[in-house]
A = this chain, B = another copy of it.
Amino acid sequence: MRFKIYITIVFFFILSKSDGQTSPSLILTKDGIKEIRQGLGRVALFDQTLATVQLEVDAEIEKGIDVPVPKDLAGGYTHEQHKTNFFTLQKAGVLFQITGDERYAVYIKDMLYAYLELYPDLDRHPAERSYARGKLFWQCLNDANWLVYVSQAYDCIYEWLSEEDRQALNDGLFKPMADFLSIETPQFFNRIHNHSTWGNAAVGMIGLVIDDQELVDRALYGARSVSVKAGAVDNDGGSIVAQDQEMGFLAQINHAFSPDGYYTEGPYYQRYAMYPFLIFAEALSNKRPDLKILAYKDSVLIKGVYALLNQTNSAGEFFPINDSQKGMSLASRELVNAVSMAYHYGSQDLSLLSVIASQGRVPLNDAGFDAAKAIGEGLARPFIKPSIELSDGANGDEGAIGILRGGDLTLVMKYAKHGMGHGHFDRLGFMLYDETGEVIQDYGSARWVNIEHKDGGGYLKENHSWAKETVAHNALVVNKDSHFDGKVKEADKTSGTPYYFAAGQSVRIVSAKETRAYDDVEMHRTMAMVDLEELEHPLVIDLLSVQARAETRYDLPLYYVGEFMSSNQQLQTNNDLTPMGKESGYQHLWAEAQADLTGDLYSMTWFNKKRFYTLTSVIQSGDQMIMTRIGANDPNFNLRRDPGLIHRRTGVNTVFASLYEIHGSYDYSTERPLNLFTSIADLKVLHQSAEYVVVRFQLNSGEEYQLAFSLKDDSESSQHAVKSAKGQCTWQGVYEFKKIK
C-alpha cells in the first residue's frame, strides 16, 4: 500500500532531477538507474524486493542512528549494531538513487558523520583473539566488510554531498580506514586468502569512489611498501605467506579460483568470498573498463558462480566441504547478488533466471533489474545440474571434486587440495544426498556461526579435535591417524589425483587416487552411480582399493543419516561406553556396538524421513563393524550425537567393495511401508590387484551385474583381460559395466 503511493511521488522527483546527476558510478550506473526508474511498478520481483528493502531501511531510520564504541565479539551488541549499520547504509544508498528520496541521503550522511566522530580516536578492538584485530570489529575482516558495503552507500550520495563534506569524510574516515586495513595490517591485506580479498575490495572500492588512484592500485596489486613477518599464522593455523609479487586483487583471482571456478576452501567460503570479488569487479567494470576484469582469466569470476550453483543439493544448500555450517544456501544475500550478476554480465543464460526466481528477490541494481525483468517476461528456463568434475588449483591441476547426479541422487567425492586453514583431512571422502536431504553426511564444521552461547559464535575447539579429523569423514583412516598426520602444512603441499571421470546416460563414474596422505599406503577410490531398470533409484557402487607395504589397520567410517533398522550381523551392544581413543577424533567417539563379521557380506538398513537405505559390503576374514556415536570428550555439548558405522579391517593390499541402495517408502499417516528390504542378494569381488578390480552383484530377482575397472590404465582404447573367480573378464577402456543375466 505504502509502496504504491510512494512510486507516484517518486516519478515526479526523478523526472526533474535525474538528468543533472553524475553519480552513481560504482555499482549502479547512470543508464541503469534511468532504466530502473522507468520500469518501476512494472517488474514484480524487483518491485517486491524494493518494497521489502524500503520497509527494512525505514524501520532502521525510525530507530535512529546508533554508532557504539566497539567492545563485543560476533553475536554481541556492538558487533551486531555495526553490522546492521553497514547493511542499512548500502541499502539506503540504493534507495536514494532509485527513489530519489533525500531522507536516505541525509540518513547516510548523518551516520557517516557519527563514524567520523568515533573512528579517528579508536585503537584496535579490545578483544585480542584475532591475528589482525580491527577497529570497529574484533577482526579486520569485518572492518573490510563494513567498508565494502559503505563505499557503495558513499558512492550513491557522493555527488549529492558538498565538497566540504566529502573532504571531511575522505580525510577523516575513509582514507585512514583504507590505510589501516592495508599498510597498517599487511598480514591481513597482503595474503592470498578470502580475508585479503575483502581487504583488497574494500580499499579498491573506496579508492574508486573518491578517485584515489593509489588506493585502487594498492587494491589491485597489494600494499607493496610493507611486508608480513615471516612465519606468521592466522587464528585457524593457516600460514600467512607473502610470496614475492603475489598479492592484491588480481593475484587473489589468479590463486583463489581454478579454471573451473572452484575455490579451494569449498563452497561455504566461496559463497562468502564471491561477494567482494564480484562487487569490486562490477565497480571496476564501470570505472576501469580497460582492465576487462570480468573477462580476466577466461571469465573465471562468472564461472565461479556456476561452480557454486553446481555445489548444491536439491534444496539449494551447499555441500559442507571443509569448514562449513550446514544450511547455507542459494538463498544467501551473496548468492542473490552473484546469480543476477552472472546473468547480466555473463551470457544472459536463461536457466539462471529460474534460480533467481527461486531466490525470491534480486539485488537492487542494474543486474537485478535486468534479471527481474526477464523473469517477468517469462524467459526463465530450468537450471539442470549436471554430473561434473570441478578442478582445483590455480591451473586446474591440483585435484578436483567429482559430482555425480542421477535420478534424485547426488554424490560428491573430494580429492581436491586441502583447503588451507579451513581444510579437512578428508581425501577421497564422499557425501550422498537424495531429494529428502542427506543420506550419508559430512559432519561440516563444529561451529554455531554468530551464536554467542557457543564460544562467541566462532570455531569451537571440537572443530579441530573432531570435525577436521579423518575419522569424522566418510574417508579411510589408516592406523587410527588422520591424513598427513593431521598437519595442515603437509596437506597443503599436495592434492588428490583425479584418475577418471565419466558422466554417461545411465552410468556415472568418479575415480581418484591419494598416495601421499599416509606413508607407504596408496588409496584409490572409484564410485559409480548406475541406473538399473529393476531398482527405484540409481545404485551407488563404492570400490576403495588400498595398496600398503606392511600390515595395516584400516577404519572406513560411514556417517549414515537416520535410524538403524536391522543388520544381517549379530551386534554386541555396549552398555558401558568409553571413548574409542585419545586422539585424531577417536576421543570423541563411543562404540555403541560391534560385530565380528561373519559370512560373505554384511548389510545394514537404516530409515530416514520416508525412505529406507541399505549398505551392502563384502567381508574379508577378520573384519569388524563398529556402531559409533559422536559425543565423548565434549564438555560443552558442542557436538551432535550423530551415529556412524566403521568397517574395520587389518591387511595389506585390499579393496573395500560396497553398494548403497535407496529403496522403498513409509508414510506416517497410512503406516504402510513399501519395499522396505534391500534388493541386493549378493556382492562379490571377482578380482582385485594393483591393476584391476572386478565386482559382481546379484539382485533378489535374479539379475546379475558386473563392473570391471582398470586402476592403472585410463586409456579408452586399451584392451584388458583378467582372471576372475568367474572365469576370464575382457573389456576395452577404463571400465565396463554390464548386465550378466
Contact = CB atoms under 8 A, between A and B. Distances in A.
Interface string A9-21: 0000000000000
A634 interface: yes
A598 to B, nearest CB: 17
Contacts of A669: 327-329, 331-333
A629 B672 CA distance: 30
A710 B571 CA distance: 55
Contact of A676 (B451, B636, B668): B451
Contact of A670 (B333, B571, B671): B333
A592 interface: yes
Contact of A605 (B453, B564, B605, B641): B453
A interface, how many residues as a size bin?
Answer: 35 or more
Contact of A449 (B636, B641, B671): B671
B633 A673 contact: no
Contacts of A327: 668-669
A566 B450 CA distance: 14
How many copies make up the complex? Answer: 2
A640 interface: yes
A593 B639 CA distance: 14
B577 A328 contact: no
A576 interface: yes
Interface in A309-367: 325-329, 331-333
Contacts of A369: none
A328 B451 contact: no
A474 to B, nearest CB: 20
Contact of A641 (B576, B607, B641): B641
Interface string A168-199: 00000000000000000000000000000000
A472 B565 CA distance: 22
A235 interface: no
Nearest to A75: B673
A632 interface: yes
Given A325-B668, A326-B668, A452 B75 contact: no
A325 B666 CA distance: 13
A590 B566 contact: no
A454 interface: yes
A627 interface: yes
Contacts of A671: 325, 328, 449-450
10 contacts: A328-B671, A329-B669, A331-B669, A452-B676, A453-B565, A453-B676, A453-B677, A454-B565, A454-B566, A577-B578
Interface of A: 75, 80, 325-329, 331-333, 448-454, 457, 563-566, 571, 573, 575-579, 590, 592-593, 605, 607, 627, 629, 631-637, 640-641, 643, 666, 668-673, 676-677
Given A573-B633, A576-B577, 18 more contacts: A75-B673, A325-B668, A327-B669, A328-B669, A328-B671, A331-B669, A332-B669, A448-B607, A449-B671, A451-B607, A451-B673, A451-B676, A571-B637, A573-B635, A575-B579, A576-B578, A576-B579, A629-B641
